[in-house]
Amino acid sequence: MPVFRSLKSTILWLFVPIIIVFVLVTGTISFMLASQQLEENAFTNLNDTIAQTKSLLNDKLTAFIAELIGLENKSEWLSIMKKTDDPEVSLEPEDYIFMNKAFDSYFERYSMLDSVLFYYNEGRVSLYKQNSASSTVNISLDDYSEKLESERLSVIKWLNIHDEDRLLTPQVISVYRMFGKDKSRTNGIFMMNLKSRFFYDLLNNAKISTNGYLCIVSYDGVMSFKNVAHQYNVEDSVLQRELMIAEAPSGQINITNKYGEKMLIVYDTLSLNKWKIAAIVPESELFNKVNSIGLVIVTVMLLVIVFAAVLSNIVAHIITKPLIKLTHTVNRIEDGNLTIRYNTFPSNEIGVLSRGIQEMMLRINNLLKEVKEEQEKKRSAELAVLQSQIKPHFLYNTLYSIKQLCEMEENKDAGEMVTALSNFYRISINKGNEIIPISQEIEHIRNYLYIQQMRYGEDFIYEIDMEPDIMSCNIVKLTLQPLVENAIYHGMKQKRGQGLIRIWGQLDNQEVRLYVEDNGKGMSEEDVRAINQSLGEEENSGSMLGFGTGNVNKRLQLNYGTSYGLEYENKPGGGIIVMIRIPFYG
């Protein structure tokens, strides 16, 4: 059956999805292009910043390398070193004047120079100069020779930022060269110490992001001066490990720090000393412009979609305005109001539809009256048939049992059985009311079970357990009795030993669920499926379904709807469970 859709909704479903798809595709493509360009720009800016810093450091530090190498080529320095090699020769004052002037020239040319140290032949030549102050020192060359990576003393050695040497101002970066035959036989050192302030300004002046920063990483340390929020910190050991094992001289590394933040590391390598210049940036900040652009695009897309929906709704309303009154009328009819009358009819197609609807309503009213009368007759007939089925054999058997009790002079039991029988029929008749509270239905079934137990003795026992909340809920009269009767006659008679009939009920998600459970022989799964299938059919004609059970299910569905009624299932260990589902009206 085709789904009804109004003309207005058809117009909206036609235009709005097309506009939404167009806006989404356009916005998505725009966002992808913009984000791609922004990401490329972000990486380009990082690489440019690192390249500029690298170039500046190479230029500045190369000058210090030239000074260290040039020391061997100066005749005055060679003369001084040669003199100290001879124990009989002492340095002249002119030699110290020359060294002081040479050191002073270093300070004049390089403002980032913190101090200079020249130590040779166990201190025969010892000069440590910081700014204008000069002094002699006594140091252990082993501390510096151990840091060399090879036996060659001609190698220039760099020390990352440190402050452990008592001769040096705290926080300096050192470059030195040693003299001697090899690493194990050193007899001198020439060292220049650079101010950390130079590196501080160089690394901090780079504009990366709020919590992004530049650093210099080597095997002997990490140089970083910017304070960032703690959640964006990357441990020095992690940074050293990741960068020092990197085979490529430049590239990028993605890591997650101990706070769970994803960090991007873009790096390059200084050719002078193989130190790594790295930019550490939180990915969330690197792509914050991408997120901002995405937010703007999403906002614009939503506004366009809302505007398109509003505009489409206005257009649809204008087009369908003549149908609105008729649509409202049809909606009232769907709500059950069949007494609508028209005084006048429009002289157009809408008028034709209106007259047709009015005639249809008259016919529907007549049909509903006929159906209601037929339904009432059917329900009364079914109830009468059920009651007539119950009365003859049950009344006969009960009276016969009472007679036997009287003959055995069991007058008390006979009296109680008469009382139970009278209560049973009192509730059955109930002044013709078909709907009774569950509490009365339970009282009715208690009387029935008492009578049956008096007849069958100890062949079976029963239990009744109902939640108090459902006792006031109404139910169709004589719902439980046919099911209990089936449990006795079809479940207990085929069982060896004492049987158990358990009746219980509970409230489950605004539904009352009553259960009749026995521990008899049970049925096969195929029989259970056949019964449930018959219960779901409009006419309960299945061979597996008895008259009483089908009648109960039909009366429940007539009163509560086809989604309610009976359902059978096998009980684990043997027996049958019949579930009764009705709506809860508290």
**Structure confidence by residue, pLDDT tens digits, 149-159:** 776 666 788 89
- Domain for residue 381, yes or no? no
Domain C-terminal end among 168, 198, 228 = 198
pLDDT at 94 over 60: yes
CB-CB contact of 96 with 127 (8 Å): yes
- Per-residue pLDDT, 74: 78
Alpha-carbon gap, residue 293 to 39, rounded angstroms: 12
Alpha-carbon gap, residue 239 to 215, rounded angstroms: 10
Domain C-terminal end among 228, 253, 286 = 286
pLDDT at 412 over 90: no
Give the DSSP H/E element, type plus range, for residue 483.
helix 480-486
- Per-residue pLDDT, 386: 55
pLDDT band for position 220 (cuts 50, 70, 90): confident
**DSSP designation for 2:** P
pLDDT band for position 267 (cuts 50, 70, 90): very high
- Domain for residue 341, yes or no? no
- Per-residue pLDDT, 35: 75
Average pLDDT, integer, range 271-280: 89
**Do 488 and 433 have their domain in common?**
yes
What CATH number has the domain bearing residue 509? Answer: 3.30.565.10
**DSSP designation for 504:** E
The structure tokens listed for 563 are: 């989604």
Nearest to 481 by CA among 452, 511, 523: 452
Give the DSSP H/E element, type plus range, for residue 281.
strand 276-282
- Orientation angle between helical segments 525-536 and 547-560, nearest 10 degrees: 40
Give the count of alpha carbons within 13 A of 118, CB side only.
Answer: 20
Residue 224 CB neighbour total at 10 angstroms: 23
What CATH number has the domain bearing residue 275? Answer: 3.30.450
- Domain for residue 277, yes or no? yes
**DSSP designation for 4:** P
- Mean pLDDT for the chain overall: 80
pLDDT at 283 over 60: yes
pLDDT in tens, 8-45: 677 777 777 888 888 888 878 887 887 777 777 778 88
**DSSP designation for 490:** I
**Do 45 and 170 have their domain in common?**
no
- Per-residue pLDDT, 121: 85
pLDDT band for position 187 (cuts 50, 70, 90): confident
CB-CB contact of 485 with 517 (8 Å): no
**DSSP designation for 558:** H
Average pLDDT, integer, range 94-103: 84
CA-angle at 398, arms to 395 and 400, nearest 5°: 105
pLDDT band for position 1 (cuts 50, 70, 90): very low
**Do 263 and 187 have their domain in common?**
no
Average pLDDT, integer, range 359-368: 79
- Domain for residue 102, yes or no? yes
Alpha-carbon gap, residue 204 to 349, rounded angstroms: 80
Alpha-carbon gap, residue 38 to 287, rounded angstroms: 8
pLDDT in tens, 465-481: 999 999 999 998 888 98
Instruction: Give the rounded percent of residues in the chain with a pLDDT score beyond 90.
Output: 10
What is the pTM for the complete model shown?
0.49
- Per-residue pLDDT, 99: 84
Least confident of 191-205, 217-231, 368-382, 502-516: 368-382
Domain count along the chain: 4
pLDDT in tens, 552-574: 888 888 888 888 999 999 888 78
Average pLDDT, integer, range 162-174: 70
Q: Which domain holds residue 97?
A: 74-198
Centroid of chain to Cα 120: 69
CA-angle at 231, arms to 227 and 236, nearest 5°: 65
What CATH number has the domain bearing residue 190? Answer: 3.30.450.20
The structure tokens listed for 220 are: 């002997």
- Per-residue pLDDT, 12: 73
- Domain for residue 354, yes or no? no
Alpha-carbon gap, residue 397 to 417, rounded angstroms: 12
Alpha-carbon gap, residue 421 to 444, rounded angstroms: 10
Which residues are bridge partners to 437 per DSSP? 474
**Do 91 and 164 have their domain in common?**
yes
**Do 425 and 280 have their domain in common?**
no
Domain C-terminal end among 198, 231, 265 = 198
- Per-residue pLDDT, 319: 67
The structure tokens listed for 201 are: 């300004």
Which residues are bridge partners to 118 per DSSP? 127, 190
**DSSP designation for 470:** G
- Domain for residue 342, yes or no? no
Average pLDDT, integer, range 88-112: 83
**Do 57 and 171 have their domain in common?**
no
**Do 524 and 409 have their domain in common?**
yes
- Domain for residue 346, yes or no? no
Nearest to 285 by CA among 215, 228, 212: 212
**Do 86 and 216 have their domain in common?**
no
First vs last C-alpha separation in the chain: 37
The structure tokens listed for 240 are: 């050293």
**Do 417 and 444 have their domain in common?**
yes
Q: What DSSP assignment string belongs to 400-435?
A: HHHHHHHHTT-HHHHHHHHHHHHHHHHHHHGGG-SE
**Do 262 and 151 have their domain in common?**
no
- Per-residue pLDDT, 538: 64
Across 227-241, 348-362, 479-493, 530-544, the highest mean pLDDT is recorded for 227-241
- Domain for residue 368, yes or no? no
pLDDT at 583 over 90: yes
Nearest to 224 by CA among 254, 252, 196: 196
**Do 559 and 486 have their domain in common?**
yes
CB-CB contact of 227 with 213 (8 Å): no
Alpha-carbon gap, residue 76 to 247, rounded angstroms: 43
Q: Which residues contact 21 (CB under 8 A, 6 or more apart)?
A: none
**Do 428 and 547 have their domain in common?**
yes
Nearest to 558 by CA among 380, 426, 390, 424: 380
Least confident of 376-385, 471-480, 515-524: 376-385
Cβ burial 262-281 (10 Å sphere, 16+ → b, else e): ebbbbbbbbeebebbbbbbb
Alpha carbon separation from 565 to 356, 440, 545, 550 (Å, rounded): 38, 19, 14, 10
Count of H-run helices and E-run strands, the chain: 14, 18
Average pLDDT, integer, range 391-407: 66
